[in-house]
């Protein structure tokens, strides 16, 4: 015990400090959030731009990025930064084309969740079905995503603190669940902002550590240009990590870049951020600064794995090639600086928890506001209370999945992203921009997106030779978009009346 505390005392101290700050913040905001549904679900649309900006960044970026993606560059080299470039592009698209319109229309329609936006925007006898179906899709995709994040965090705890995997997963999921239940959207937003600042600091730290370890820029690139570690094909890497496409294919970069990056234009946990922004000035701030926070951190994080090659032995490299999710944990273990490890652990926890908290809240609001209330109307007080219970129940199910995860961190996260992109983007974008979009177009595109995603992933991608690198996001997104346009045009008579559309579009 004494030996364990000597070895891990600083890390444990940093984590305790972090946990303390998060509890304090959520207790403080919990009192305000408990007032009513709008406070608990949307923070009363009173959140400043810098907070929303950091919250969007920290919610989109998760342990999956700081552990999984950073680890992937151990296998795929510096070419992996292209994934970061694609994500930054989608971040800019999201804030330019969805942010202001979503904020404006959600106010006009008095929408408080993404599924209820679909209900109110497409207004018809089918819009309740669209609302319930979109909530079920959220719950399905979210399960994959949360399992991925919890797996990444639990792996890290087991490497750095020698904590059993099941205990690490338990701590991560239920601590996050507890503070989300207390603080609601107010707590989640402000906690996310604090976590975002911490994540920016840790991104910078992660990229500097390998350089300090090997003694600077020149020794780093000298080592990287002549690596004896075996690459993905078993041959020595040489300078392959520095050359584009030598250790991975552009198709795989595009697959991960698009499937995860597109979450920014379709994932309800990110889209809901637009709802809470305070005013025009704050919107402009967030439109400029969110891509900056994301871009700078990704330039660092996406390069880390490749740099770690200079810190590990050939035996360790073989292990990391097989399970690159352990790259970052091993880097801190080798660097062996308890204080830096402690700070990094806070940042990595922040990355996981900020995303977990946002998804937990989205799952709870979907269950209660968009499914349960469709059958049983309830008071504001009962809605908030039931949302809290639903979040706890959902986290228990996620924990059970995490004990035996079905895939790697990056793959689980990218599958969830692909489901959101294909099932929601046409309905969101069409809702925001096209007066001709209809309820049947929305419903058909959601169903098509879900079906193509699942069939491609579970029936084609890994069963048909040569299809492995064609990610489900491409066929699913293309078909879903096409279905939205064709079905909407074919059912033009079902579009909402002009009076309603004038309210939606503010004319």
Partner 1 sequence: MDAYTLFPYWFIIVLLIVNAIAVGRIEIDIEDEHPSNEQHD
Contact set with partner 1 (CB under 8 A): 36-38, 42, 44-46, 77-79, 81-82, 84-85, 88-89, 92, 95-96, 100-101, 103-104, 107, 109-110, 112, 116, 120, 221, 242-245, 279-281, 283-284, 287-288, 291-292, 295, 298-299, 506
Could you tell me the smallest distance in angstroms from the CB atom of residue 285 to partner 1? Answer: 9
Q: How many CB atoms lie within 10 A of CB 303?
A: 20
Minimum CB distance to partner 1 smaller for 79 or for 176: 79
Minimum CB distance to partner 1 smaller for 38 or for 491: 38
- Tell me if 196 sits within 8 A of 60, measured CB to CB: no
Minimum CB distance to partner 1 smaller for 120 or for 473: 120
What sign for the dihedral angle of Cα 289, 290, 296, 297?
A: positive
What sign for the dihedral angle of Cα 465, 469, 472, 476?
A: negative
Minimum CB distance to partner 1 smaller for 79 or for 453: 79
Could you tell me the smallest distance in angstroms from the CB atom of residue 288 to partner 1? Answer: 5
Minimum CB distance to partner 1 smaller for 33 or for 479: 33
**Phi/psi at 228 (5° precision):** -95, -5
Could you tell me the smallest distance in angstroms from the CB atom of residue 283 to partner 1? Answer: 6
Q: How far apart are CA 188 and CA 199, in angstroms?
A: 16
- Tell me if 293 sits within 8 A of 68, measured CB to CB: no
Could you tell me the smallest distance in angstroms from the CB atom of residue 255 to partner 1? Answer: 16
Minimum CB distance to partner 1 smaller for 45 or for 223: 45
Minimum CB distance to partner 1 smaller for 371 or for 444: 371
Could you tell me the smallest distance in angstroms from the CB atom of residue 57 to partner 1? Answer: 13
Residues 6+ apart with CB under 8 A from 113: 41, 268, 272, 362, 365, 366, 369, 370
Could you tell me the smallest distance in angstroms from the CB atom of residue 392 to partner 1? Answer: 24
**What would you report as the CA-atom Rg of the chain, rounded to the nearest whole angstrom?**
22
Q: What is the DSSP string of 330-391?
A: HHHHHH--HHHHHHHHHHHHHHHHHHHHHHHHHHHHIIIIIIIHHHS---HHHHHHHHHHHH
Could you tell me the smallest distance in angstroms from the CB atom of residue 388 to partner 1? Answer: 19
Residue 304 in tokens = 């880390």
- How many residues does the structure list for the chain? 507
């Amino acid at each position: 015990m004494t030996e364990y505390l000597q070895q891990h005392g600083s890390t444990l101290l940093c984590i305790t400090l972090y946990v303390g700050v998060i509890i304090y913040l959520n207790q403080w905001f919990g009192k305000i959030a408990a007032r009513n549904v709008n406070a608990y679900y949307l923070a009363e649309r009173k959140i400043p731009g810098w907070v929303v900006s950091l919250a969007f960044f920290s919610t989109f970026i998760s342990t999956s990025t700081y552990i999984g993606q950073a680890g992937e560059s151990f296998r795929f080299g510096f070419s992996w930064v292209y994934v970061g470039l694609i994500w930054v592009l989608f971040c800019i698209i999201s804030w330019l084309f969805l942010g202001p319109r979503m904020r404006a229309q959600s106010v006009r329609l008095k929408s408080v969740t993404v599924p209820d936006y679909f209900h109110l925007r497409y207004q018809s006898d089918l819009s309740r079905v669209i609302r319930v179906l979109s909530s079920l899709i959220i719950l399905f995709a979210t399960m994959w995503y949360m399992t991925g994040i919890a797996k990444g965090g639990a792996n890290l705890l087991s490497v750095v603190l020698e904590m059993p995997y099941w205990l690490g997963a338990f701590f991560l999921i239920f601590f996050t669940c507890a503070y989300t239940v207390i603080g609601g959207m107010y707590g989640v937003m402000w906690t996310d902002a604090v976590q975002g600042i911490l994540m920016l600091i840790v991104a910078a730290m992660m990229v500097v550590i390998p350089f300090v370890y090997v003694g600077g820029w020149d020794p780093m690139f000298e080592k990287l240009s002549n690596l004896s570690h075996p690459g993905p094909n078993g041959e020595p890497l040489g300078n392959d990590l520095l050359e584009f496409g030598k250790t991975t294919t552009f198709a795989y970069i595009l697959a991960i870049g698009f499937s995860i990056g597109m979450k920014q234009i379709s994932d309800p946990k990110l889209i809901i951020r637009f709802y809470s922004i305070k005013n025009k000035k704050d919107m402009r701030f967030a439109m400029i600064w969110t891509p900056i926070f994301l871009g700078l951190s990704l330039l660092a994080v996406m390069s880390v794995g490749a740099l770690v090659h200079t810190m590990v032995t050939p035996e360790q490299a073989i292990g990391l090639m097989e399970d690159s999710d352990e790259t970052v944990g091993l880097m801190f273990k080798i660097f062996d600086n308890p204080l830096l490890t402690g700070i990094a652990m806070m940042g990595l926890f922040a990355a996981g928890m900020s995303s977990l908290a946002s998804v937990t809240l989205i799952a709870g609001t979907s269950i209660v506001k968009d499914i349960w209330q469709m059958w049983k109307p309830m008071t504001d007080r009962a809605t908030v209370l039931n949302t809290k219970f639903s979040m706890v129940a959902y986290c228990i199910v996620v924990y059970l999945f995490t004990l035996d995860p079905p895939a790697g961190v990056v793959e689980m996260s990218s599958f969830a992203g692909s489901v959101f992109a294909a099932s929601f983007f046409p309905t969101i974008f069409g809702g925001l921009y096209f007066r001709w979009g209809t309820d049947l177009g929305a419903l058909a595109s959601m169903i098509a997106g879900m079906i193509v995603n699942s069939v491609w992933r579970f029936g084609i991608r890994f069963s048909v030779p040569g299809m492995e690198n064609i990610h489900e996001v491409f066929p699913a997104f293309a078909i879903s978009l096409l279905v939205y346009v064709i079905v909407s045009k074919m059912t033009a008579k079902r579009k909402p009346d002009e009076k309603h559309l004038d309210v939606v579009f503010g004319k």
